[in-house]
Amino acid sequence: MAAADRDTSPRSRPLAESGAVLGGTAVNGVAAYLFIAVGTRTYGDAAMAPVAVLWTFWAVSVALFMFPIQHWTIRKIAADGHSRGVGAALPRVALVVGLGAAVLAGGAWLGGERLFGSSAIGWPILVLLVTVGSAFSGLQRGVLAGGRRFFAAAANIAGENLLRLGAGLAVAASTDSVLIFAAMLAVGPLVAVFWPEALRLEFGRAAREPVFGFLGGLAGGILVSQVILNAGPVVLQGLGGAEEDVTALFLSLALFRAPYLLALGAATRLTGPLTDLVVGGRTSRLNRVVRWVVMGTLGAAAVAAAGAYLVGPWLVDAIFAPSVPTRGPVVAAIALGSTVALGGLGLVLVLLAQHRTAAIQATWLGGLGGALAALATWPGDDLARVVASFIAGVSVAFIAMVAVLRGWSRTAPGPRH
C-alpha cells in the first residue's frame, strides 16, 4: 500500500483516534449551528428560509452520497490493502454523482419559486455544487480514514463547517445578499486543500467489481432511516396535531438525536477495523461485537428512558426554553427510540463491513413498514401514534438486523472480501 494510504501511527492509539474523530464531529456540529445563527441574526428568519431549503438539499446529498461513498472507500481500502480499487471505480462513481446532482438541481430549478421564493438560477446551481461537494468530502474522508489517518480525518470533518462559518461571517459583514451567504455552504469541501495527497489515488489496473449495488443499498438504507428518525414532527403536523405537541416532539427529538449525530461521525473510526475482522474471517470476534452492541443497546435504552422520564422535560426546558412544557412520557419514549436507533447504527456498520448493504436497505424498509403499521393502528391521540410509530420503526429495523446477522454467523465461511 502507498505511503499516503496508511498511517504509521502505532496501534496503541485507537482511543485517542476515536476521541479525535468524535471531537471533530462535535466541532463540525457546533459550527453548523453557529453558521445558521449568524445568518438568522444578520438577515432575519424570513430571509433565511431559502437557505434552510438549500440546507435540506445538502442533508439529502449527505445521505445519498457523502456517507455511502465515505464508508465504501474505507471498506474498499481496508479489504484490498490498497487504493487501486477505489481509483478504478471512481469514474463510475463520479458519473452517478453527476447524474444525481443534475436531478436534484433540476428539481430545485423546476420548483424555484415555491422552494426558494425566487427563480434565480443561483439556487439550483448551489444545489448542484453542494451535492457534488458532499460526494467529494465523502471520498476524501474515506481515503484518509481508510489509510488509518484518523487525526487528519477528524480535522477534515471539523474543518468543513468551520470553513463555512468563517466564510459566512465574512459575507455577513460585507453584503446584504442572502444568496451569497448561502453560497458559503458550497465552500466547505474546499477544506480538501489541506490534504491534497489524500486524493492522489492509485489508478492502476484493478479487478472490476460492482460498486453501484453497495452504494445504492447503503444510500437507500440511510435515507429511509433518516425518514423514520426525523419525520415525526412533519407527520404530526400533517395529522393536525396541536402546535404545542409538534413543538414538544421536535425539541425532544433534537435533544436525543445529538448522540446519534456524534456516532455518525465516529463511525469513520470503526468501518476499517470491522472490515479487517470480516476479511480475516474472525467470525467469533465479530459475533462478540454484535452481542455487545445488542446487550448495550437494551441496557442503555432502559436507562435512557428512565432518566429521560425523570429529568428529560427539565433538560428540554433548560436548553431550548420552549413556550410550552414537554411531557415526561413523550421525552422518555423518544430517548428509548433514539437509543435503539444508535444501536442500530452499530449493526449497520457490521453489515457494511460484510458488504451487505442490500440487507441494510431491506431492514430499514422493514422498519418503515413497522412505523406505518403503528401509525395506522396505535390507539390514542395523534402524538401517541407518532411516538409509537417512531419506536416501532427503529425497533423493527434493529430486530431485523439482529436476525440477519445471526443468520450470517451460522453460515459464514472463512476469510472473504
Residue 102 three-state SS: helix
The DSSP-derived string for 112-152 is HHHHHS---THHHHHHHHHHHHHHHHHHHHHHHHHTT-HHH
Tell me the C-alpha distance between 225 and 63, whole Å.
10
C-alpha cell read off for 348: 449497520
Given this model, what pLDDT does residue 115 score?
79
Indicate the domain borders of the chain: 14-209, 221-411
| pTM of the predicted protein model | 0.80
Given this model, what pLDDT does residue 4 score?
41
Given this model, what pLDDT does residue 415 score?
45
Given this model, what pLDDT does residue 321 score?
62
Residue 265 three-state SS: helix
Given this model, what pLDDT does residue 208 score?
59
Tell me the C-alpha distance between 17 and 211, whole Å.
28
Given this model, what pLDDT does residue 60 score?
85
Backbone conformation region of residue 355, classed left if phi is above 0, alpha if psi is from -120 to 50, else beta: left
Given this model, what pLDDT does residue 6 score?
44
* Range list of H helices, 191-242: 212-230, 232-238
Query: If the chain, 417 residues long, is cut into consecutive pieces of 10 residues, what is the mean pLDDT of each piece?
Result: 44 75 89 85 82 84 90 88 84 91 92 82 94 93 89 92 94 92 93 84 62 85 89 84 79 81 84 88 89 95 93 80 72 92 93 91 96 92 92 96 81 49
